[in-house]
Chains A and B, each alone.
Chain A
Amino acid sequence: MTKKTQTSPKTRTAAKTRAKAKPKAKAKPPRRKAPTRYAGMTGAQVFHEMLLAEGVETVFGIPGGVLLPIFDVLYDTPMQFVLTRHEQGAAHMADGYARSTGKVGVCLATSGPGATNLVTGLATAHMDSVPIVAVTGQVVSSLIGNDAFQEADTTGITRPVTKHNVLVRRAEDLGRAIREAFHIARTGRPGPVLVDIAKDATMAVLDREPDLAIDLPGYRPTATGHMRQIRAAAAAINAAERPVLYVGGGVIIAEASDALRAVAAKGRIPVTTTLTAMGAFDETSPLALQMLGMHGAAAANYAVQGCDCLIAVGARFDDRVTGKIETFAPHAKIIHVDIDPASISKNVVVDIPVVGDARDIMEKMLPLIKARRRSAWAEQIAKWKARFPLRYGGGGKVKPQHVIETLGRLTDHGAIVATGVGQHQMWAAQFYGWRRPRQFVTSGGLGTMGFGLPAAIGAQFGHPGQTVVDIDGDGSFAMTMTELFTAVRYDQPVKVVVMDNDYLGMVRQWQEMFYGRRYSASEHPCPDLVMLAESLGAKGMRVTESSEVPDAVAEMLRAEGPVVLAAAIDPEENVFPMVAAGKSLDEMDMGRLV
């Protein structure tokens, strides 16, 4: 049965009391008018005005010495400031907020350790092209380079993990730097931008009007697709008998899902989505092939290997997608639609590149696509789907896939779902049943364990009243579980399902398959997550029997506040299908069930 908490009411009350010891979330004030003059303001005040002008509603972060002038201004801000427990949490929250809303996420950290703690979050956002503006405090400019207290070369450290970064030493440069940061973060191929601000730049009073005009002569991202290339692409698609659309996260970023659906439907072109694109194409469509790649659906991988025309849209031919690159889509003419010219022909030589915004290009392509039935191809794909569906075994033990399917069903496939990284992430991608863009929030490129909980909290801040679930593993959850207290404190009712197998499951799976079951350092005893949740003021639940799964999931979803549901899953359950590293996509290990 579903076990309830055994924690004493006293402990629980104490935690609740602490949690309440905080001013409630402010009611949204009426929108303020932007000031007409900035002269006479401090740098910190200008900074604040710039955030308001950008429409920022929520900022995640932690204060510190060099940020005190900024935090003094934030004391009266109409924005909501969310105090996280760790700067990594702040960065992932800004990320989850950004991915689920499409707006720019904002996080704030102090100099030195505050800034270095952001690095993982920035790298995560950078790999998946997520718009974030990260602001860090820096020691006063006269001390920069002197190994001052809490000094780090933040722009040096974060340069390779940001789209751009800049150090601001003077108050008069601050406003423009913030405006440029938002512009760079949200346009072109989006990404995190870091602004490092010396403390004296926030304290100085402006004696004249600052120049706030964006000045970026080297930044002109291509937005509209070249018509000649679009026509060439359409001609290749029309000529193809076995085309496949291979769709990446760029389609979600560009809000191109509707255009994609129209193109796919008109040409009867099957669609496979990458991990970051789950939801870009409704999986109830007969054209949906689900995910491709290392743990992709068999039909998706066979279709890619068998297609005569591969249309990559907003995807970047990652090694987890292509498998052995030399034998990837061997018979296909390759069309690549991407906003980043550097993505084209980076990993795979492309026959027809189309640079620009995915939505613009798909909309322009639609009238050029011939309506075709392509019944032979459709039949072949239906056969693969029927022969090799995603499936899992039964039995008494809790199967993680069953938990995720149940979650999908009970949330009507409509929840926002974040994940950590590992087996549970793959099962989530395979079994939730994706319907719409921006509902799946996962670290694809960097593969950041610990991403799930803070990302879910960030998504919840962006979607008050909606169901937000973190599907997590016990390994990933342990890395950032401290943020559970942030969820409790700010009344963010995220639901956390932890697949508890007492292993670092994906590592264990590889050790089982490729290292003769020598489980080196992958045993990972999980603490009592029910007690842990309760001690932080959340509700803790546990499910240990397969038959109890539907009730447990339903109870979790009904509960008002944050909940942690520990699912004691079959400890040696593996993710299948699997294409071993270095193998071709059609060399799949289907597991024991086929």
Chain B
Amino acid sequence: MKHVITALVQNKPGVLAHVAGMFSARGFNIDSLVVGRTENADLSRMTIVVIGDDRTVEQVRKQLGKLINVVRVRDFQDIEFVERDLMLVRVAVTPQRRAEIVELANTFRGKVVDVAKQSLTVELSGPEDKLEAFIELVRPYGIRELARTGVIAMQRGDQNSARAAAPAGSQTQ
């Protein structure tokens, strides 16, 4: 099962190595891991998509919390949240059939960001399944190149994802 976990981490050298190393040492599977800045210059947010059963993901959450530079951990299970993945995809297409891709991109609320003689590049963002659907539709044309950012996520409503989260290292019993 797919879980989205977000961790606020100190913005210090080596933090990513601590997190990535813990995942590999304990044999957890990461689907994607995104690190970026937050509203606070001292903190970065990692959004990690993990595949595993509930018990594995519980261990992931706890082991993340044990890392000294991880400030807060939140598992988005059972709460409403917004997730977004950003993709650039270059589709092989002749000038005659360009319109088909442009139409598809419009349907998905994507943007054409580059046009070349034999290809066309589309920017698309949204939840993962929306991106997957688009990929399947353009696959018959030929996908020359594809890049995705991985998922970032945020809780819906007024509450901050980080504020609501239990402090790292503490136990919710």
Contact = CB atoms under 8 A, between A and B. Distances in A.
Interface of A: 155-156, 159-160, 163-164, 166-167, 184, 188, 216-222, 226, 228-229, 340-342, 344-346, 349, 353-355
Interface stretch (B6-14, B111-119, B124-132): B6-14
Interface in B34-83: 55, 58-59, 62-63, 65-72
B68 A341 contact: no
Contact of B68 (A160, A184, A353): A184
Interface residues on B, range: 20 to 34
A166 B14 CA distance: 8
B171 A159 contact: no
A15 B168 CA distance: 55
Contacts of B58: 345
A218 B67 contact: yes
A188 B169 contact: yes
A289 B25 CA distance: 35
Nearest to A221: B169
A229 B66 contact: no
Given A184-B68, A217-B71, A222 B17 contact: no
Nearest to A215: B10
Contacts of B170: 220, 222, 341
B18 to A, nearest CB: 6
Contacts of A155: 14, 17
A65 to B, nearest CB: 24
Contact of A222 (B9, B59, B171): B171
B65 A342 contact: yes
Interface string B143-173: 0000000000000000000000001111101
B21 interface: yes
B68 A218 contact: yes
B68 A164 contact: yes
B10 A341 contact: no
A174 B85 CA distance: 40
Given A345-B55, A353-B171, A156 B71 contact: no
Contact of B66 (A160, A342, A355): A342
Contact of A156 (B9, B17, B173): B17
Contacts of B169: 188, 218-222, 341
B68 A219 contact: yes
A166 B69 CA distance: 10
25 contacts: A156-B17, A159-B18, A163-B68, A167-B14, A216-B68, A217-B10, A217-B71, A218-B68, A218-B69, A218-B71, A218-B72, A218-B168, A219-B168, A220-B168, A220-B169, A220-B170, A342-B59, A342-B62, A342-B65, A345-B55, A345-B58, A346-B59, A349-B55, A355-B171, A355-B173
